[in-house]
Structures are given as C-alpha cells and as structure tokens.
Amino acid sequence: MIIAIDGPAAAGKGTLARHLAVELRLAYLDTGLLYRAVGKKVLSLGVDLEDIARAESISKALKPADLEIDGLRADDVAQAASKVSAIPGVRAALLEFQRSFAKSPLKGKKGSILDGRDIGTVVCPDAPVKLFVTASTEVRAQRRFKELQDRGSTVIYARVLEDMNERDARDSSRSVAPLEQAEDAVKIDTSVMDAEAVFETAMGIILAAAPEVNVF
C-alpha cells in the first residue's frame, strides 16, 4: 500500500499523513524534509543558493540521519528548501531516495505514506491512493503565522503572506516536477476543516479507493 499526499505549504498534509501513518501502520516520509535538509546544509556552509553544482553535490550525499538535524523547520530553511527544490539535479538525486522508501516499507509496516509536492505525479504515479490537500492562501499564511509565533519568532502576517505567495509561485512554476494535482488525486480543501475532520474525510476516500486497508 502506498498513499501519496501532495499540496502546498501549511495546507495540513503533514498532520494528516502522520495521523494516517499511525492509524494504518504505514511507514511515513515527509519528503519536504529531504529538501529542507539540503537547504539547511547549503545555508550552514554559506553556499550561494544559486550555486547549482554545490546544491546538487549536497543532495547526492544526503543521508537518512540528515533528516534528524535541528533547525529543519525554521522559516529561512523552508525558503532555502523551496529554492533548491527547483534545481533539476537536486530533484533527480532525491527521487530514488523517495521511491526506495515507498517500495520498501520499514520492518513491521504494511506500506508507506509520503507527502510532498510531486508524490502522486512523479515519485509514485502508480500509488493506489492519491490525495491533494490544499487551503486558501490566506488561511495557510495565517496557520504559518501562528506556528512561527508559537515558536517565539517575531513575524508580521503581511510578510508571511508575501513569502507564502512567492513560495507557491516558485513551487508551481518550476520546470521539473511542479506542484500540481494528479489527475486521479482526490482534492481535500482544509480551509474550514479541523484536523479531525480532514482525517475522517481522508479515511473515507482511502477506504473507498483501497478497501484492503481494512485488514491493517
């Protein structure tokens, strides 16, 4: 069983994927962490975000342990991740990592669930279940604003909204694997839904598309 979840930043796909992974006993990979880890290393090394060769080299050397380093959720890392993810060589280097995870579930798991930007379109186009989780830009910006405030960051909503729009444009317009809804993905708009409602909606979609998950 492979469940692919795509969608823009702060739409709630990570929260949903983690909940589903626990409920269905699936291995979970937040593929965004791969790009955040690359972005974090680029920033830590003082490498120019426009240095394609260095970004590609860093991505090729990425190890699972790199997904555990501190600071991956920082906003500057998120912005760096969005920029390096637009580099074709970086995406190519991380593609096999993602596909291997999807096809070889961790010991004791019944399958895999991955969330990101191009899981249903590029990474796992044959996944039996595909979800596209989204929300209005304003709602997503408000969620990110609150998240940053809760971490103690001094932020301005207008700036968070501007960053969100820039990131959406970058993710949707890149030449390789742009953010888009797969033709056979089911869309879930979380703008006016809480996490539990999103989970129940997703479970209904999953059970309809893949009844065999009942045996999990």
Instruction: Give the pLDDT confidence score for residue 211 in this predicted structure.
Output: 74
Q: In the predicted model, what is the mean pLDDT of residues 158-172?
A: 93
Domain boundaries, the chain: 2-199
Section 52-76 average pLDDT: 92
For position 214, what pLDDT does the model report? Answer: 61
The percentage of residues in the chain with a pLDDT greater than 90, rounded to a whole number, is 79
Does residue 139 contact residue 160 with C-beta atoms inside 8 Å? no
Length of the chain: 216
| Residue 36 token pair | 């955040």
pLDDT class of 156 with cuts at 50, 70, 90 = very high
Mean pLDDT confidence for 100-110: 87
pLDDT at 216 over 60: no
Q: Kindly report each contact of residues 14-17 with a partner whose C-beta sits within 8 Å and lies 24 or more positions away, as own/partner.
A: 14/115, 15/195, 15/198, 16/115, 16/131, 16/133, 16/195, 16/198, 16/199, 16/202, 17/113, 17/114, 17/115
126: buried, middle or exposed (CB in 10 Å: 19+, 13-18, 0-12)? exposed
Beta-bridged to residue 127, according to DSSP, are none
* Domain 2-199 grouped into CATH 3.20.20.210: no
Neighbours of 172 (CB within 10 A): 12
